[in-house]
């Protein structure tokens, strides 16, 4: 049985959720040089950063592939597409590393 709603005392649930979100979950500030989520340590070379990016892409692609093997249909195809894009990005970084005479 539904209780009658008293418009003067009962809160609209959507309005209440928005109000709570406004006060309890404010929008995070945009990243600036002073409040970055993460940053490279001083002295990290371009080659070291590139090697780390390649390793991260390799791990992310392996994670996507492993997850995709347990999915079906559109979810599986989406994960394999994501894995393919990460592999392409990794290949570009590896090609740049081998083609750059300064590296």
pLDDT tens column, 46-67: 899 999 999 999 999 999 999 9
**What are the sequence ranges of the domains in the chain?**
45-103
| pLDDT at residue 29 is higher than 90 | no
pLDDT band at 34 (very low <50, low <70, confident <90, very high): confident
C-beta separation of 86 from 60 below 8 A? yes
Give the dihedral sign, CA 56/59/64/65.
Answer: positive
pLDDT recorded at residue 15: 80
**Predicted TM-score (pTM) of this structure:** 0.58
Summarize the confidence of residues 5-17 as an average pLDDT.
Answer: 68
70 or 98, higher pLDDT: 70
């Amino acid at each position: 049985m539904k209780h009658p709603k008293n418009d003067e005392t009962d809160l609209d649930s959507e309005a209440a959720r928005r109000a709570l979100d406004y006060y309890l979950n404010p929008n995070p500030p945009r990243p600036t040089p002073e409040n970055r989520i993460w940053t490279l340590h001083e002295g990290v070379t371009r080659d070291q950063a590139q090697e780390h990016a390649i390793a991260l892409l390799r791990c992310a692609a392996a994670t996507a592939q492993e997850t995709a093997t347990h999915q079906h249909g559109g979810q599986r195809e989406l994960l394999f597409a994501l894995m393919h894009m990460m592999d392409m990005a990794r290949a570009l970084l590896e090609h740049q590393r081998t083609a750059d005479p300064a590296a």
